[in-house]
Copies of this chain bind each other. A is one copy, B any other.
Amino acid sequence: MTYSEENYLKAIYHLSLSQKQGVNTNAIAAMVESKASSVTDMIKKLAEKELVIYQKYQGVSLTEHGLLAAKMIVRKHRLWEVFLVEKLDFSWDEVHDVAEELEHIKSEKLINKLDAFLGFPTEDPHGDPIPDKNGNIVKVEKQLLSEFEIGQTGICVGVKDSSSSFLQYLDKQQIALGSKIKIIAKESFDMSLTIEVEKKQMIISNKIASNLFAKIVL
């Protein structure tokens, strides 16, 4: 598989997680930063290789084979992210672009040895699950902080948006994966939240709360 085919496959995979139907041409184009016409071309190629199912004008979906291939790319991406953060001391907002390149290195042996070297992690530095060598994914029950009730406490376990600006905001506020967060109050006007993290109270906007995953405790 080419570099480009892998990127399309990965885009289709990510889009299909948040869509029941076939994935739209335009959505793929936006994700891979190309044009709809380029997407149509590539989809045809992927369909010929039986990685996706394609019906003109009806969007695409992954075949079983395509799904596994996509998961293996995601697996590589996330394992490399763990490596960069845990071993090379990158911060969580710096790893994405490098991992985008590393994910295309073709060696099963490499990735399985890397997995072992890292101690078979199940989540990447942003809390996203790492598929195992068979494509199995451990699902953690978690919900957006914006969906928490007043008085509830959660442990931060992931981010929805992993843009560096958001991640740097969290660093600045000293919110990290593992932080214990208690919902103190919710402003009904703008849905901003007053929360308590490590004894300190702060106010976060609804946009922030809608991009932070936590699991309920207590």
Contacts and interface: CB of A to CB of B under 8 A. Distances in A.
Nearest to A84: B110
A169 interface: no
Contacts of A97: 107
Contacts of A87: 117
Interface stretch (A59-67, A98-106, A188-196): A98-106
A45 interface: no
A101 B105 contact: yes
Interface in A74-112: 84, 87-90, 94, 97-98, 101-102, 105-107, 109-110
Contacts of A102: 105
A207 interface: no
Contact of A113 (B90, B107, B114): B90
Interface in A17-72: none
Contact of A117 (B88, B101, B106, B110): B88
B89 A113 contact: yes
Contact of A98 (B84, B101, B110): B110
A97 B105 CA distance: 10
17 contacts: A84-B110, A87-B117, A88-B110, A88-B113, A88-B114, A88-B117, A90-B109, A90-B113, A94-B109, A97-B107, A98-B105, A98-B107, A98-B109, A98-B110, A101-B106, A101-B107, A102-B105
Interface of A: 84, 87-90, 94, 97-98, 101-102, 105-107, 109-110, 113-114, 117
Given A88-B113, A88-B114, A101-B107, 16 more contacts: A84-B110, A87-B117, A88-B110, A88-B117, A89-B113, A90-B109, A90-B113, A94-B109, A97-B107, A98-B105, A98-B107, A98-B109, A98-B110, A101-B105, A101-B106, A102-B105
